[in-house]
């Protein structure tokens, strides 16, 4: 075996966003020696970008709220495709997870009686999102970061070593999960700063790597979101679930070009902002789908009254779930009623006083002022859909967050599938991170503690992983003597293909073409080459991330081609309606080669097999939370009469 440093830990957490840090805190508090490994600096993870808040039915602002109402909203938002047990656990446990943050030093905005304030958001029946202005994600990540430091301070007192039981390997990347037979045995990693390889031996690995947005051209996601955890799970033999469901957030910036896709928080609408087309019309009133007809205002007057008197009025349709709003904006622009730069207008300036806007939405004010020369207290913003979140992900057990079929592998947060069904509600992501981050950490620690013998590291796997990681330095040109491929060019072509062909509105021929293009890119990616050496070399890092983006993109395209209906974050122009027969069907993606090898030389077949999987029936007491008339719209015939 090549000379690679090896360290022993009980639990390795991959990713240091909300889910990863919460998992690490739990694992360490349960007595497991825990390592966290993350691509960026500690405290910079994508969670900092979350703006609106954490959904939790604390009932601080409207005491009518309860976990049951939260559960119901979540299932409606996900169009009943959610793994219902996850949605139940999430709704039940979210309040405790928020309150616990206060004991670690978090400072949320307050109600008049001194409790945690909660704001309205799309798809949530009551004001439910605990928030700190529009920088809630920063508060979350900083609080968890500071809790980790607090635990390290305890260890320093006890052992004289801050990192005795909890260590963060920052700016390091995992390229393979290692296995001993079926079981997880550790992770193969490289350090960005030096390019040095190392192995973390551990019986439990928690994947908490976030999403896949960097496979799309217009996205609110940062460079880290290259689907690493999704790919690591596939390569380790675990299936991915429902990858066709990708959320396009309705409001991203559209101008100037360099900021296209950057998120404009849903809080703008939650706090009273409205959407208008070029004719000045509040067009969302024309886009309320049948399943939501009874729950949304029919006139602007009623919608406006709702902000002050929610008990006697219905909410404005600007607060429909994100998939509905994104499609509506897309249609308006297509119909020629868009804004000058191809979006629509989002206006708060005529809806509340300037001072209030600056206080409630400080980072939006700052972002538009600095990046677009737009003063949102005086003029409307231009916004349009941006790739924001993937509902699909690693198939997990609802209670334990264990990945299917690979003992020792766990997943939490965006990288895990199931929780949000076909569409995630705003605010349910931060609560998801906390609820399932904790559960993953807990069960990963228990699993590690319960093993008699630690799984062994296989030297061949380490050598293979090292060779795979070094390939970009010795890339050869094609047979005709051309030069090696530029990884940045490949990445741009991949983003363009996914954006154009597997984007917000999908068609059969386009997705078939996407699979063709992905096959071509996959062949070329084998020849991606880089200059320079291994020390902090972004071109090299991107070459390695390309493998992951190509795998994940193929999953999305294949699953999207297979699901012949429109539901949540998956809209088929050729199958425009929701089909109740699809409700019970999950699509699982698996690697064609079960040994984790990549079939890069077979362009037609690709690397991914699709399997249909029928979901468990929803528990009767949970179904009883809904009116029969509503269930008829979602459930398949046979489910209604079971």
Partner 1 sequence: MSSYDARFRVWRGDAEGGDLTDFSVEVNDGEVVLDIIHRIQATQASDLAVRWNCKAGKCGSCSAEINGRPRLMCMTRMSVFDREDVITVTPLRAFPVVRDLVTDVGFNYTKAREIPAFVPPAGVAPGEYRMQQEDVDRSQEFRKCIECFLCQDTCHAVRDHEENKAAFAGPRFLMRVAELDMHPLDAASDSGLDRKRTAQEDHGLGYCNITKCCTEVCPEGIHITDNALIPLKERAVDRKYDPVVWLGNKIRRRPSS
Which listed range, 222-230, 397-405, 459-467, 561-569, lies at the site for partner 1 (CB under 8 A)?
222-230
Pick the catalytic residue from 28, 33, 322, 424: 322
Which listed range, 64-72, 138-146, 428-436, 450-458, lies at the site for partner 1 (CB under 8 A)?
138-146
Polymer length in residues for the chain:
642
Task: Report how far Cα 182 is from the mean position of its chain's Cα atoms.
Answer: 27
Q: Return the number of the residue (80 or 255) whose C-beta is nearest partner 1.
A: 255
Distance CA 634, CA 285 (A): 23
Give the other-Cβ count within 10 Å of 135's Cβ. 18
**Closest separation in Å from C-beta 563 to partner 1:** 32
Q: Return the number of the residue (147 or 438) whose C-beta is nearest partner 1.
A: 147
322 included as an active-site residue: yes
Contact code string over 471-500 relative to partner 1, x by CB under 8 A: ---------------xxxx--x--------
153 binds partner 1 (CB under 8 A): yes
* Alpha helix segments (H runs only) across 335-458: 354-360, 362-372, 428-450
Which residues on neighbouring strands pair with residue 575, listed in sequence order? 572
Give the other-Cβ count within 10 Å of 320's Cβ. 25
Q: Return the number of the residue (99 or 292) whose C-beta is nearest partner 1.
A: 99
Q: Decide: residue 468, CB within 10 A, 0-12 exposed, 13-18 middle, 19+ buried.
A: middle
Pairing of strands 166-170, 34-38: parallel
**Closest separation in Å from C-beta 107 to partner 1:** 5
Contact code string over 79-108 relative to partner 1, x by CB under 8 A: ----------------xx--xx-xxxx-x-
Which residue in the set 222, 386, 428, 553 belongs to the binding site for partner 1 (CB under 8 A)? 222
Pairing of strands 381-390, 344-347: antiparallel
Q: At what angle do helices 508-525 and 538-562 cross, to 10 degrees?
A: 150
DSSP symbol at 192: T
Contact yes or no for 14/208 (Cβ under 8 A): yes
Structure-token match 């700052």, residue found: 366
**Closest separation in Å from C-beta 531 to partner 1:** 5
List of residues 6+ apart from 490 with CB closer than 8 A:
521, 524, 525, 528, 546
553 binds partner 1 (CB under 8 A): no
Distance CA 48, CA 16 (A): 11
Which residue in the set 156, 161, 576, 624 belongs to the binding site for partner 1 (CB under 8 A)? 156
Contact code string over 369-408 relative to partner 1, x by CB under 8 A: -xxx------------------------------------
Which residue in the set 405, 477, 538, 617 belongs to the binding site for partner 1 (CB under 8 A)? 538
Containing 249, the helix (H) or strand (E) segment is strand 246-253
Which residue in the set 7, 8, 29, 42 belongs to the binding site for partner 1 (CB under 8 A)? 42
Structure tokens at 241: 């679930």
Give the other-Cβ count within 10 Å of 334's Cβ. 10
**Closest separation in Å from C-beta 99 to partner 1:** 4
List of residues 6+ apart from 628 with CB closer than 8 A:
none
Which listed range, 349-357, 360-368, 426-434, 504-512, lies at the site for partner 1 (CB under 8 A)?
360-368
For 276, 377, 384, the CA distances from 349, given in Å and listed in that order, are 13, 4, 18
Q: At what angle do helices 538-562 and 228-235 cross, to 10 degrees?
A: 70
Which residue in the set 125, 139, 180, 510 belongs to the binding site for partner 1 (CB under 8 A)? 139
**Closest separation in Å from C-beta 125 to partner 1:** 21
Which residues on neighbouring strands pair with residue 252, listed in sequence order? 263, 384
Which residues on neighbouring strands pair with residue 569, listed in sequence order? none
46 binds partner 1 (CB under 8 A): yes
Sheet with 608-614, strands from edge to edge, namely 393-394, 240-241, 585-591, 608-614
**Closest separation in Å from C-beta 114 to partner 1:** 4
**Closest separation in Å from C-beta 243 to partner 1:** 24
62 binds partner 1 (CB under 8 A): no
DSSP helix/strand/coil, 323: helix
Q: Return the number of the residue (372 or 494) whose C-beta is nearest partner 1.
A: 372
Q: Return the number of the residue (49 or 591) whose C-beta is nearest partner 1.
A: 49
Which listed range, 132-140, 345-353, 389-397, 603-611, lies at the site for partner 1 (CB under 8 A)?
132-140
**Closest separation in Å from C-beta 138 to partner 1:** 7
- Judged by CB under 8 A, the number of residues near partner 1 is 69
Which residue in the set 2, 6, 31, 110 belongs to the binding site for partner 1 (CB under 8 A)? 110
**Closest separation in Å from C-beta 316 to partner 1:** 27
**Closest separation in Å from C-beta 330 to partner 1:** 23
Which residue in the set 300, 531, 573, 593 belongs to the binding site for partner 1 (CB under 8 A)? 531
Distance CA 69, CA 12 (A): 36
* Alpha helix segments (H runs only) across 108-205: 136-159
Q: Return the number of the residue (40 or 83) whose C-beta is nearest partner 1.
A: 40
Give the other-Cβ count within 10 Å of 265's Cβ. 27
Containing 561, the helix (H) or strand (E) segment is helix 538-562
539 binds partner 1 (CB under 8 A): yes
160 binds partner 1 (CB under 8 A): no
Give the other-Cβ count within 10 Å of 318's Cβ. 25
For 417, 490, 529, 533, the CA distances from 471, given in Å and listed in that order, are 31, 16, 8, 12
Give the phi and the psi of residue 402 in degrees, each rounded to 5.
Answer: -75, 135
Q: Return the number of the residue (140 or 205) whose C-beta is nearest partner 1.
A: 140
Which residue in the set 164, 259, 291, 449 belongs to the binding site for partner 1 (CB under 8 A)? 259
**Closest separation in Å from C-beta 427 to partner 1:** 18
Which residue in the set 113, 309, 311, 480 belongs to the binding site for partner 1 (CB under 8 A)? 113
Structure tokens at 401: 């967050």
138 binds partner 1 (CB under 8 A): yes
Contact code string over 279-318 relative to partner 1, x by CB under 8 A: ----------------------------------------
Which residue in the set 92, 198, 223, 351 belongs to the binding site for partner 1 (CB under 8 A)? 223
Query: HSE-up of 415 (CA within 13 Å, CB side)?
Result: 38
**Residue of 626, 238, 181, 284 whose CA lies nearest to 411:** 238
> Which residues are catalytically annotated?
322
Residues that bind partner 1 (CB under 8 A): 40-44, 46, 48-49, 58, 95-96, 99-100, 102-105, 107, 109-110, 113-115, 132-133, 135, 138-139, 142, 146-147, 149-150, 152-153, 156, 162, 193, 222-224, 255-259, 262-263, 363, 366-367, 370-372, 486-489, 492, 530-533, 535-540
């Amino acid at each position: 075996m090549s000379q690679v440093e090896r360290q022993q830990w009980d639990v390795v957490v991959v990713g240091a966003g909300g889910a990863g840090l919460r998992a690490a805190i739990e694992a360490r508090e349960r007595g497991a020696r825990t390592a966290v490994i993350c691509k960026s600096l500690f405290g910079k993870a994508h969670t900092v970008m979350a703006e609106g808040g954490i959904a939790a039915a604390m009932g601080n602002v409207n005491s009518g709220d309860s976990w049951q109402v939260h559960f119901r909203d979540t299932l409606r938002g996900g169009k009943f495709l959610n793994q219902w047990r996850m949605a139940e656990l999430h709704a039940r446990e979210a309040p405790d997870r928020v309150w616990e943050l206060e004991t670690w030093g978090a400072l949320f905005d307050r109600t008049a009686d001194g409790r945690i304030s909660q704001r309205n958001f799309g798809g949530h029946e009551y004001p439910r999102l605990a928030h700190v202005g529009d920088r809630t994600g920063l508060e979350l990540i900083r609080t968890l970061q500071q809790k980790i430091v607090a635990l390290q301070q305890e260890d320093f007192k006890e052992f004289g070593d801050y990192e005795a039981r909890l260590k963060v390997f920052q700016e390091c990347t995992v390229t393979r999960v290692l296995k001993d037979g079926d079981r997880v045995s550790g992770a193969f990693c490289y350090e960005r700063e030096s390019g040095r390889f190392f192995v973390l031996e551990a019986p439990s690995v928690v994947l908490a790597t976030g999403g896949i947005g960097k496979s799309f051209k217009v996205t609110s996601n940062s460079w880290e979101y290259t689907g690493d955890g999704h790919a690591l799970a596939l390569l380790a033999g675990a299936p991915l679930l429902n990858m066709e469901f990708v959320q396009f957030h309705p409001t991203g910036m559209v101008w100037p070009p360099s900021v296209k896709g950057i998120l404009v928080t849903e809080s703008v609408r939650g706090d009273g902002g409205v959407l208008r087309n070029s004719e000045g019309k509040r067009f969302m009133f024309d886009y309320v789908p049948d399943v939501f007809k009874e729950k949304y205002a029919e006139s602007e007057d009623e919608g406006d009254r709702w902000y002050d008197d929610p008990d006697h009025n219905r909410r404005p349709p600007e607060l429909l779930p994100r998939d509905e709003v994104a499609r509506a904006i897309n249609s308006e622009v297509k119909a020629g009623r868009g804004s000058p730069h191809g979006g629509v207008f989002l206006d708060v300036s005529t809806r509340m006083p300037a001072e209030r806007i600056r206080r409630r939405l400080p980072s939006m004010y700052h972002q538009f002022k600095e990046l677009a020369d737009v003063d949102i207290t005086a003029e409307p913003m231009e916004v349009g859909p941006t790739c924001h979140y993937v509902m699909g992900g690693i198939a997990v057990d609802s209670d334990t967050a264990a990945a299917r079929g690979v003992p020792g592998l766990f997943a939490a947060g965006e990288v895990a599938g199931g929780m949000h069904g076909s569409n995630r509600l705003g605010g349910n992501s931060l609560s998801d991170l906390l609820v399932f981050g904790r559960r993953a950490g807990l069960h990963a620690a228990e699993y590690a503690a319960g093993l008699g013998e630690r799984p062994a590291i296989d030297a061949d796997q380490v050598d293979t992983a090292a060779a795979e990681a070094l390939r970009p330095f010795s890339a050869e040109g094609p047979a005709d003597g051309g030069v090696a491929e530029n990884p940045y060019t490949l990445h741009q072509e991949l983003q363009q293909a996914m954006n154009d062909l597997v984007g917000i509105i999908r068609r059969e021929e386009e997705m078939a073409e996407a699979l063709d293009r992905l096959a071509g890119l996959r062949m070329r990616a084998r020849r991606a080459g880089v200059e320079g050496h291994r020390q902090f070399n972004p071109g090299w890092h991107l070459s390695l991330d390309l493998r992951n983006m190509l795998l994940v993109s193929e999953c999305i395209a294949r699953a999207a081609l297979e699901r012949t209906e429109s539901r949540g974050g998956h809209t088929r122009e050729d199958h425009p309606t929701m089909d109740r027969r699809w409700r019970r069907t999950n699509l699982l993606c698996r690697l064609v080669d079960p040994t984790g090898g990549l079939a890069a030389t077979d362009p037609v077949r690709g690397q991914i097999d699709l399997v249909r999987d029928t979901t468990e029936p929803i528990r009767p007491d949970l179904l009883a939370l809904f009116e029969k008339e509503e269930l008829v719209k979602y459930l398949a015939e046979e489910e209604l009469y079971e």
